[in-house]
Structure 1
């Protein structure tokens, strides 16, 4: 694949899973993140980029790489139900849950089916569009990697029983430079420190390998995953993970004669993908067990296939959940009434055609809305609505201008998940401090969790260094257009 003949300035995007504005700023102010401080002070810093919904990495990265929300790319969360196959799709929510669903199935979903089957063919990724322009890309440690170059996924013999790959190998469509821990490595001698992917050191080493070998393509996407696990256990303000990742970024910048030269030669983007909400300590107060709330209905169980007798399927994504109503004789309104009895559920939403209905366990009234109408929001999207706008903390002016409060870009993000896949289902959102539970769902009491529409999980930081360009809107879904514009602008 040819590079741009004008020797384009490579764009390097470092995605630090669960990096949030406040702990990032504390780490910088206390001198514990000098590399990130340098990039922030010598570029543009946006502390409130709006991520996609649900605030789970696979959906966010799909939105970032395709420039679309879930209604277009069709990756609706880490845990969802495929109504056409009557199958729960789980990309790895936790050991107990994935074990009951089938470890081999979950790994196959994450490593292969997400990119080759589940992501819509109606959207294109950054990698695919750049390839059409003759510009190479690299994906390092990202589970969302779809490109148009056949790549072999290789599984060590020890782990072949955990996958559905024939003879321990499978061909996938990825970027032409592709690294995913054990499954695909750039450095022949590199050792992945996790089964499915490398840790932050592995990611940084793979990036440094490309720089040393002078093999940086037009666009490189690197994911640092370790911070998320620390925050789940220790809470949102833990900064030790940021310090560790910063040391690896320092080593990357030190490959250049100076850090200034690193910015002269490359465009550097550093971002978080989702925030976290601190969770309460008491199980009874802060865990919303949907099995108890909906106990009068027959709920499918993880260890067996969904049957015709099952009325509901529950798919929890930490602080949001999908409730699938399989029984055609059971009206959605009956399930909604049960959910409204729990004051810890702040948003209950479902669709009827293109009309979105919103109610709440915390607030009275209802809200109905659809795209197109007299109200224009801060992202130039238009809406028509009636009912109580406080359910989504919307501010409506007499001039028909609409702005968002606790739920950034809520209208399109909620609309997108309700049109992201087929079936009759309800979306529920937990108030801050709470998370949902179903059978074998991981718990994060006294730590932190994400997944919801709330601003605590929806605002992420973005640093841009090596260019004066900025995205048109401060949303993750707009980064694809921004990155392609950066590369085209240089050409």
Structure 2
């Protein structure tokens, strides 16, 4: 998500301010007024790249009093599993729908839309947007992502809560699909330069705040840090200020999802373990807790869920060594120039930092060869592709360190810790899966929930593809993409990418499964226990 915010910032900063007010968000006040809910409200705060090692260090140093207060008065988990790819657009889609990408259909930050024969990119870099077309990419990020690409066959947490008569809000999240109409106001001359409207209509929860693009009408008289020198509100400070104002003015929704994006940028540049940068997050957590009068009052009135969206892998220092150049690896093939129809080449790349999709747009049955080609580079952990057979869709996985292969598909005699059953065959060590023949149980080591994560990624979009995963310390690279020598990166499926932290305070109810996939159901259960949600009349 942080890359999307960065790109939007560039576009906005290059423009003049447009202070014209558009009517739009009028549903929140009515939602609060009409709600009969009198239980604890739920505040969910996503801290980008918050990992257990960072939380442990902060607790040891006693350097983050707000986070420490929540941990000491609640539950703390170090191994919350993210979906795959570990990019914020896919993660937020899974969090809000309770489905993996095979159902919500947001396959990553960078992917091939076969129906339009083009690459979609929500914000890897401004250079990527220039190559693909700024107008098209901005439309993808600001409109299509929530209104078309996110499947209309699944419902979000916001929509489900509204069906139960509860109000909800999203602050600086990229995924926010709901039932209420909102307008994203495009500042300055961007609409004229790109030929786009000065306001983009979208659908979200009762309250939607997205930097200066969407300031809720219920707070239109409030001053926020959303000027040019404050990145137009696309930062932690704006997120916290909006929440503080909602609390103080009695406009807090029953459920609020808040995104704090700033630490991820520091983790990329410095290190995933950059404690000093992580500690700055606490001032915003303190501000939210202080808005209730006392921190004890905050827990009396709310359930707080603070989580990271993904982990981050420490990259090697040498830039040339850390980057796996896919153009060089597949030099015998051609790929279309960015911005051209994908079919002008014989393959295409959808690079999500530490994972990559390698596409066969003509369906020429070269997937096994593309996978084998990647085995030339020992920095590639494995390659996988899906074989569609009469007996079911098997996924085949190979690795540079093994002369054999591993195959799996859903439904079978093997059961994992999440209650998912699988058929497996071959060398389980390729994915560090351990199979106990006595109990019929399989366990995951280096790749938490890897079978579910990999399988659903193949069904997330139609194009024929190979999935590549990078070894720790390395990242995939293509023209226009940034690199972070000696810094941090994610996107991959290794536990370094997929394990993040979770803190819950204000309730004794524990989550049954420690996956972001299961948090939507957990939140709905919290409301049910607080006030008999199932028996409430719908609005």
Instruction: Please indicate the TM-score interval, normalised by the length of the shorter structure.
Output: over 0.9
Aligned to 2:395: 356
Aligned to 1:386: 425
User: Cα deviations across residues 237-269 of structure 1 (Å, max 9, x unaligned)?
Assistant: 112232221011112211223211110110001
Deviates more, 1:134-143 or 1:275-284: 275-284
Structure 2: segments with no counterpart, 5+ residues: 1-30, 532-539
Match of 1:184 among 214, 217, 235: 214
Aligned to 1:479: 519
Normalising to structure 1: TM-score of the pair? 0.97
- TM-aligned CA distance change 1:366 to 1:253, over 3 Å: same
Structure 1: segments with no counterpart, 5+ residues: none
User: Cα deviations across residues 324-382 of structure 1 (Å, max 9, x unaligned)?
Assistant: 01233352122122111111111211112221111112333111111000000000000
Is the 8 Å Cα contact of residues 207 and 252 (structure 1) preserved in structure 2? yes
How far apart, in 1, do the equivalents of 2:336 and 2:108 lie?
19
- SS state at 1:436 partner: strand
Aligned to 2:301: 265
Is the 8 Å Cα contact of residues 15 and 270 (structure 1) preserved in structure 2? yes
Match of 1:454 among 494, 507, 513: 494
Trace 1:405-424 onto structure 2 (pairs within 5 A): 405-424=445-464
Question: 1:21 offset after TM fit, Å?
Answer: 0.9
Is the 8 Å Cα contact of residues 279 and 445 (structure 1) preserved in structure 2? yes
Aligned to 1:248: 284
Is the 8 Å Cα contact of residues 346 and 363 (structure 1) preserved in structure 2? no
How far apart, in 1, do the equivalents of 2:157 and 2:490 lie?
26
How far apart, in 1, do the equivalents of 2:512 and 2:306 lie?
17
Match of 1:437 among 467, 477, 487: 477
Is the 8 Å Cα contact of residues 281 and 445 (structure 1) preserved in structure 2? yes
Is the 8 Å Cα contact of residues 272 and 460 (structure 1) preserved in structure 2? yes
How far apart, in 1, do the equivalents of 2:234 and 2:530 lie?
32
Question: 1:28 offset after TM fit, Å?
Answer: 2.2
Match of 2:415 among 372, 376, 381: 376
Deviates more, 1:331-340 or 1:135-144: 331-340
Match of 2:95 among 46, 55, 64: 64
Question: 1:471 offset after TM fit, Å?
Answer: 1.4
- TM-aligned CA distance change 1:490 to 1:163, over 3 Å: farther
Is the 8 Å Cα contact of residues 103 and 162 (structure 1) preserved in structure 2? no
Question: 1:159 offset after TM fit, Å?
Answer: 3.4
- SS state at 1:182 partner: coil
Normalising to structure 2: TM-score of the pair? 0.88
Aligned to 2:369: 334
User: Cα deviations across residues 263-304 of structure 1 (Å, max 9, x unaligned)?
Assistant: 011000100001110111223322110000000001122143
Aligned residues: 489
How far apart, in 2, do the equivalents of 1:470 and 1:139 lie?
24
Is the 8 Å Cα contact of residues 118 and 339 (structure 2) preserved in structure 1? no
**Residue 172 in structure 1 maps to residue 199 in structure 2:** no
Deviates more, 1:155-164 or 1:13-22: 155-164
Is the 8 Å Cα contact of residues 37 and 166 (structure 2) preserved in structure 1? no
RMSD: 1.5
How far apart, in 1, do the equivalents of 2:508 and 2:253 lie?
21
Match of 1:489 among 522, 525, 529: 529
